[in-house]
Amino acid sequence: MVTFFLLALLFILLLNPFPAMCQIGREGEWCLLHASIGISAMHMQLLHNNRVAMFDRTDFGPSNLSLPYGRCRYDPSDNVLKNDCTAHFLLYDTGTNTFQPLMVGTDTWCSSGSVLPNGTLVQTGGYNDGDHVVRALAPCNDESCDWVEFPGYLSEHRWYATNQRLPDGRIIIIGGRRQFNYEL
């Protein structure tokens, strides 16, 4: 009898490759999918390809997730780590329950973002060396994903700004801390 229950339990675990701890209630369920993803997700954006972009700040020390392929970010203006080999951004794949760390070169803390009609995530501003930066992440479904950053692209520093996609596909960036203006 014990053998039957152990085999049944093994069969159930094999059918569910993502065992999760769930709380089920009248309104739905909440499941802990990973005990840790290695970063503190301060911003998140659901993308068109069912991946979730998750950002951490870069000025608070290392994350708990290493960058792949021995990559490191060197930032002489960083207040805590000038040379950082840990990820502060990842893509979470909702279909496979896996995540992929990517390198972001500038601080995205308190940045803002919007998704273009073609699925490209545009993230603007941030803190410290990221406050005048525009970052773009084109949609992809393999290991070739990475950010393209345009330092100094914004006219004003953008910290806590708001981004909104306009009907023609452009993005308007409004305000931010001590900014009473906008740019397209």
pLDDT for res 9: 41
Nearest CA to 171 out of 136, 104, 122 is that of: 122
Mean residue pLDDT across the chain: 86
Q: What is the pLDDT of residues 103-134, one digit of tens each?
A: 999 999 999 999 999 999 999 999 989 999 99
This prediction's pTM: 0.81
**Partners of 24 in beta bridges:** 29
CA distance 124 to 136: 9
Considering the domain 38-183 in this protein, what is its CATH number? 2.120.10.80
Of 18-32, 34-48, 100-114, least confident by mean pLDDT is 18-32
pLDDT for res 14: 41
Q: Which is more confidently placed, 166 or 80?
A: 166
